[in-house]
Amino acid sequence: MSPLKDRITEDMKAAMRAKDSQRLSAVRLLLAAIKQREVDERVVLDDAAVVAIVDKLIKQRKDSVAAFAQAGRDDLVAKESAELQVLQAYLPQRLGADEVRTEVAALVAELGAAGPADMGRVMAAAKTRLGGRAEMAQVSAAVKQALAG
């Protein structure tokens, strides 16, 4: 089992002991998503794959918060925001905007990419290298800027 998955399991046990139902719910949701992927693909996930799942769940929570806020459902906004905070604890330290630009510039140079036609190739490499360490929307913007200039 991966160290991150072990940590998530231990956090679930701690939340059960503390009777912290909100945290327990969010951690169980994450473990269910991990288990589902493992069963579907018949593999044991490593830390990078677990981080990708956490990233996906965080994006879903952010989208839900925006939708619920627009609909005026403050109760659901609070619930999703609490889950979002719990999930963010499992992500590695995020790169800053300058670090993302530096990494993207290095990738563009490595791949010899030039122009918007190479966007897909650079994004695929960036997703592999920066997955979990940077928000992909930010990476995409940096790639567009690097390929345009």
What is the number of alpha carbons within 13 Å of residue 14 lying toward its C-beta? Answer: 9
Task: Tell me, yes or no, whether 139 and 82 share the same domain.
Answer: no
pTM: 0.76
Using the 8-state DSSP alphabet, how is residue 116 labeled?
A: G
> Residue 62 belongs to what domain range?
3-88
Out of 36, 56, 88, pick the residue that ends a domain. 88
Q: Two tokens at 57?
A: 């769940």
User: How sure is the predictor about 36, in pLDDT bands with cuts at 50, 70 and 90?
Assistant: very high
Task: Tell me, yes or no, whether 71 and 132 share the same domain.
Answer: no
Out of 36, 60, 88, pick the residue that ends a domain. 88
- The b-or-e profile of 95-104 (16+ CB within 10 A means b, else e) is beeeebbebb
What is the sign, positive or negative, of the torsion defined by CA atoms of 116, 63, 11, 6? negative
Task: Tell me, yes or no, whether 83 and 17 share the same domain.
Answer: yes
Average pLDDT of the residues of the chain: 89
Task: Tell me, yes or no, whether 16 and 45 share the same domain.
Answer: yes
Q: Taking residues 78-106, what's their average pLDDT?
A: 90
pLDDT of residue 115: 78
The CATH number of the domain holding residue 40 is 1.10.1510.10
How many domains does the structure of the chain reveal? 2
Among residues 78, 130, 69, the alpha carbon closest in space to that of 104 is found at 130
